[in-house]
Amino acid sequence: MARTRDEAAQQRILRAARELVCDLGPRAVSIDAIADAAGVGKQTIYRWWPSRSAVVMDALIEMTDPEPADPPDSVRERIRLQMRRVARMFASRQGRLIREVVADAQGDPDLAEDFRRRFLAHRRARGAATIARGISTGELRPDLDIEDALDVLYGPLWFRLLVGHRPTGPAAVDRLLDLVWPGLVGPREGGRAPVQARAVGPR
């Protein structure tokens, strides 16, 4: 019973943190405000989280979609699906929360560190594993710098999220991947990269 109460309290705290961040921005959210909104004491929050930024990160992480259980064999299609998941996340309420966190992290070193370490790091690791697989199977060029590849694939989506000048839907993902792909595979026989059929899916 105690465990059930603890889990219920944690969910109230995370829900309160998400709503406050979306309404006020991360920097304006305090432990006191989260405690009041969740109907718990501050010490209850500190039992599970060491700081305000840690609560905000868990609230953000909890909103993330799970990875698909059966990814396609093609590395190109794996990358496409991963990019579409990011684009879908950016178009949701979570995207607004991410935008607020990134903006406030510019003036909050603790929040910036938590964001890089807890939100970005394992997502980049997942993308890096896909690119490494492509290198090992020969689908991607052997001299490819994995970190650079991640930046050119996902950087445009982050730019569109933060600036808001263009959409980040499935069609945009397909165009961006088609644009970047020749540089990832490198030259092929005849001096050009092979043309692959675009996946059929929602636009």
Specify the pLDDT at position 41. Answer: 94
Identify whether 40 is part of a domain: yes
Structurally, the chain folds into a number of domains equal to 2
Q: What is the CATH number of the domain that holds 30?
A: 1.10.10.60
Identify whether 98 is part of a domain: yes
Separation between Cα atoms, residue 173 and residue 132, nearest integer Å: 21
**pLDDT tens per residue, range 32-72:** 999 999 999 999 999 999 888 889 888 888 776 666 667 88
- Statement to judge: residues 50 and 81 lie in one domain: no
Contact between 131 and 124 (Cβ < 8 Å): no
Specify the pLDDT at position 13. Answer: 95
**pLDDT tens per residue, range 143-198:** 999 999 999 999 999 999 999 998 888 999 999 999 999 999 988 644 444 444 44
- Statement to judge: residues 35 and 92 lie in one domain: no
**Domain containing residue 25:** 2-55
* Count of C-beta atoms within a 10 Å radius of residue 193: 15
- Statement to judge: residues 28 and 86 lie in one domain: no
Q: What is the CATH number of the domain that holds 151?
A: 1.10.357.10
Identify whether 48 is part of a domain: yes
